[in-house]
Amino acid sequence: MKEPFSGMYAALMSAMDDAGNLDLNRQRDLTDYVLKQGLRGLYVGGSSGESGLLETAALLEQQGVVAECARGTDHKLIAHVGVPALADSITLAKSAKKNGYDALSALPPHSYPFSDAEIYGYYQELAAATDLPLIVYEIPFRTGRPLPLDLLVRILDLPNVAGIKFTSNDLFKLSQLRRRRPEKLYFFGSDEIFLGAASLGADGGIGTTYNLFGKLYAALFAAVTAKDLARAQPLQTISQEYVEILMETGVLPGMKASFRLLGIECGPTRAPMAAKVPDVEARLKPFLARDDVKPWLSV
């Protein structure tokens, strides 16, 4: 299971029209750009795609368009289907199966303070809804609490659960999971410290900034695989410098402004999400124009 899926995946952004609705033509342009960057695949319909602000119908449309764009390539497609209602998650999962996706993923339910038993039950039903491998998710800053280690191990043991997307700075917990279930897949989700997780054995990464800097992250993964720390460190530094700016601007508003500066229109973020500052493009432009950054932005 590990080898076919190992590598780096862009957590694909959603392209909107000027009114903030999903724009399928812009989505095609964005997807085509990301597919040219040498990544292992795409993670579709997640937080980076503003899924918490999109209707299920829009997420179903997006799944289909992305599948069309990737058809005939060797990219792996992982559909994120973790939305508040389990019934909608299952609808999205079955659609992904029909559209030829290779795997599923889902945030744990977090609309209410769910118990460990309720979270386990959610993943149990979702994993049984199709025969696609399921990548579960640990992301405490989004859910409001870290899931207990024992619960994550129990979830990893469910049929069809292939691994976890781990978006947390608790690298000790990541190591504990890997020691307990070494046969599972471990994707890391904090772009700016991927190198730390990779040194502890992460099988790949799934990240927002991979949309723009996919070439850089593919090179970072190659350097890690080759145990070339001298090559990996400066790549991670560029990633960190970019993330620092995005923290000032707002991550997704900053990402979309970055694409606009490259001539690729992704539209606005969907309300109520908004930029943190009025001068987003002005803050990004000098960084994107740097001589050590520009080579990573061409495809």
Amino acid identity for residue 9 in this structure: Y
Q: Which of the residues 76, 165, 173, 184 is marked catalytic?
A: 165
Catalytic residue check, 97: no
Catalytic residue check, 137: yes
Q: Which of the residues 101, 122, 137, 217 is marked catalytic?
A: 137
Closest to 190 (Cα-Cα) out of 170, 212, 168: 168
| Residues with active-site annotation | 137, 165
